[in-house]
Amino acid sequence: MSGEVTVSAYGLALMGGGFTVVGALMGGWLTYRFSLHFTRWNAKREAGARLRAAFVTELGALAPVSTQKVERVDQYLTAAFPKHREAVMEFAWYLQGAERQRFEDAWKAYYEVGGSVRFFDYMMGGTQREQFDRFKQRVEAILEFTRD
């Protein structure tokens, strides 16, 4: 006995088959996990695009260079609030933990004054440009989360 290990052709075929099955199972599992990750990432991207689109009209209308004149900013934004809220709620599903909390804080800073939905602070103080910059800054704080 010199310590040699001999493997028959049948044993070698069984080992090769076993490695093939293990490799196929691992490959299938990895493909499954990757597809879940990619699907979730893609859905988050699409929800982010809808969130950005939800604010486009208001950003354009309230810009100082806009040809559309909005007399009552608070009423205008209150009317758009359900559209914004829907897009925010959809996107929030794709955030977790501290990131979701920061997103919700940015969302509340956009609309909440004194614990309720109010937009009058966008009309208070400063020039039209300063008021728009305040609005834009709060919207951008929300949209920051949609970047990949």
Q: Do the bridges between strand 116-117 and strand 112-113 make them parallel or antiparallel, or are there none, so unpaired?
A: antiparallel
Stated pTM of the model: 0.74
Grouping H, G, I as helix, E, B as strand and the rest as coil, residue 131 is helix
Instruction: Give, in order, the Cα–Cα distances in Å from 128 to each of 63, 110, 134, 135, 136.
Output: 9, 18, 10, 11, 12
- pLDDT digits 0-9 by tens, 61-91: 888 887 778 778 888 888 999 999 999 999 9
For 2-127, where are the alpha helices, taking DSSP H only? 9-62, 73-92, 97-111
Residue 114 or 81, more confident: 81
Grouping H, G, I as helix, E, B as strand and the rest as coil, residue 91 is helix
